[in-house]
């Protein structure tokens, strides 16, 4: 039989595995909605001298593909 301390350690380990930064999910959300990530375009400032990379037009190419996949998924019978 396990002690209370062992259960607490196991619980803390499981919670630590579940709680993690969700920057990948945030990045995907931003791609889908056409929001610009300032860090992603920092190389334009550093390498090419473009002062304001946000003035470069951002065309969300991924949105139509995701919408098409979701539409196909919804059409699949359960």
Domain boundaries, the chain: 4-75
Chain mean pLDDT for the chain = 78
C-alpha 28/C-alpha 53 separation (Å) is 20
Cβ pair 3, 32 in contact under 8 A? no
pLDDT of residue 52: 60
What pLDDT, on the 0 to 100 scale, is given for residue 69?
A: 86
CA 77 to chain centroid: 29
pTM of the predicted protein model: 0.45
C-alpha span between 65 and 68 (Å, rounded): 5
Tell me the CB-side half-sphere exposure of residue 47, using CA atoms within 13 A. 5
């Amino acid at each position: 039989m396990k002690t209370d301390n062992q259960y607490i350690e196991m619980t803390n380990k499981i919670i630590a595995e579940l709680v993690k930064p969700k920057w990948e999910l945030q990045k995907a959300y931003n791609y889908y909605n056409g929001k610009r990530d300032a860090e992603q375009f920092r190389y334009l400032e550093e390498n090419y001298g473009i002062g304001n990379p946000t003035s470069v037009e951002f065309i969300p190419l991924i949105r139509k593909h995701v919408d098409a996949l979701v539409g196909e998924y919804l059409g699949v019978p359960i």
